[in-house]
Structure 1
Amino acid sequence: MADDSRSDAGTPPASLTTRLTTAVRSFFASPIRRDAAAILAGLASGGVGAVVGAAELPVWVAALGTVLVTALFLLIERAAAADTADEKVKWLWGALAVALALPAGSWGYHVLFDSGDRSEYAFYLEGDRLDILESAGRPGGPQISGWPLRSGKSHNFECTARDPEGRLWLKAVAGNYWYEAARFSPVGDFTASDMPTCE
């Protein structure tokens, strides 16, 4: 029986890995295609920010998601441009680790910071929709740019605490972000005094 393991020219056919590597290199050899890939990565990063922003998640979650998506693209690009198989494997392992960190990080965030077992209380922040209210890192603390709230809409909180001067503060449902209760109006048949005290 004839040996089919060799091509018509008498040389062994290229392996699947070699063919894929050649195809990837050919794709990224074009500057236009590299630029298009970079644009797509930027759009994906922006999409992560838009999703977490729409969900009213903290700024650090949006920033971390964008960094991970960008890192994933850069690792894949490095793997495609690597000259040796060992280098390609190293960069691809890194890309796999980052890709797994995205769902694992999402799960960890919801378990540690956004548990569904607690009650949430909606409050309306008076004001123009163009105005924002910065958060504080503790009751009565200085304002930080951690999780600003937009005026003219409702926001959810989980518990209360008082500052050294006796003023009542509300804690956001995700993260350690605090807002003075006097700035808000409860949405529903309850008051801030009905909320649990933060431990």
Structure 2
Amino acid sequence: MYIERGIIRSFDPGTWQASVELAGAHTALLSGVPVAADLASDLLAPGTRVWLCLSEEGNPADAAVLVPYGTAPAAWVTSRLWKPALASASRTSAVTCSATAYEAVPGLSVSLTLEAAGSVLLLAAACGYLVSPGITYALAFFHHDGHEATELVPGEEIGGTGASAGESVTLCALALQSGVPAGTHTFVLKHRVSAGSAVLGRGRIVALAMGG
């Protein structure tokens, strides 16, 4: 095996193969060269200069397009296996919670699309106050869509038997779900109280898709 430079002349996303002209040899066109699985199609436009791995026998099917070189790609171009996805939602008006089982916080849900299986990191920040004394107020993320309806841990709780009526509360929640399949997924922030009621004054959630 050896490394050679080439120029992409065409790329077929259906087969994930390219036709590549060897650098300095305008008549040497290799067809059906496999392309590294992690290269995004944005990086394989005709005219792109690439490094190739070639076999000693010269069979294009045994070669591989490894990586482009010479020009930095646009900032938004990244791996075929992971394209970053980010979604956020916020709520600025108060909502009262008196449910002892988790219920959705209106307006605090997000949907995002993963092009390939990966992980989703979820963050929440909220503030409000306890209406009733001696209660616990809790927040948790749920992966809630056609794929599944799962509570993601850890959640976040505040208050307790020593909490006072009217006590201000601030909560930050973080959850990570791995093994999320490709597709569009919805994540919902839910809240509950142990008894009585509490008010969420405002909040914000962010979901970030990550590779792996």
Task: Indicate the structure whose relative CO is greater, using CA pairs within 8 Å and at least 6 residues apart.
Answer: 2
Relative to the length of structure 2, the TM-score reads 0.23
Q: Could you say which structure has the higher helix fraction?
A: 1
TM-score normalised to structure 1 length: 0.24
Normalized per residue, the structure richer in strand is: 2
